[in-house]
Homo-oligomer: A and B are copies of this chain.
Amino acid sequence: MSAANGKIAPIHVEIAENLAPASSPAGFKMFNRILDWITNERLQLINITDRINEIVRKSGIRDGIVHLQSLHTTTAVFINEWQDALLHDVRAFLEDLVRRESYFRHNDPTYSDCERKNADSHLRGMIMGQTLCLQVRNSAVLLGTWQSIILAEFDGPRSRSMSIQVSGV
């Protein structure tokens, strides 16, 4: 049930958009990649820290910014500690903050043609945010000891894409 208990095997499909970093003579470089995941739960948390670090290493950029942007309104990307018990609490908190069984116009055929009944997913994605900007230092994502980068699926199972941009020197 938890994202950390081994049940989740997201498939990472990396699409090579740029084979070489777009570098400028003066040292400013930019590097773009799309990462894909297949999720298998409605509300699922995925630790994407290693995948992001892999892209940062490939970029050849030593110091700068890595920008993550999930391309789906019913997902989010954020930081927290990756611990089983806490991930359980995170799921419970988000499910309680926006109750799936509440009345939403987005789920009501009178007002909406959305058949997924996913208003709760939209509101969770909106409040947590679909973008994250982190520093790159010494060719790695800068993270505190307990900080992991978490992709949250709020309307799975789905195929999900995230665009990653590394820029700097």
Contact = CB atoms under 8 A, between A and B. Distances in A.
Contacts of A167: 64-65, 168
A149 B32 CA distance: 22
A94 to B, nearest CB: 9
A9 interface: no
Given A26-B26, A30-B64, A143-B71, A89 B131 contact: no
Contact of A147 (B71, B83, B93, B168): B71
A interface: dominant SS: mixed
Given A64-B30, A73-B144, A78 B135 contact: no
A81 to B, nearest CB: 5
Contacts of A28: 24, 26-28, 169
A105 interface: yes
A60 to B, nearest CB: 15
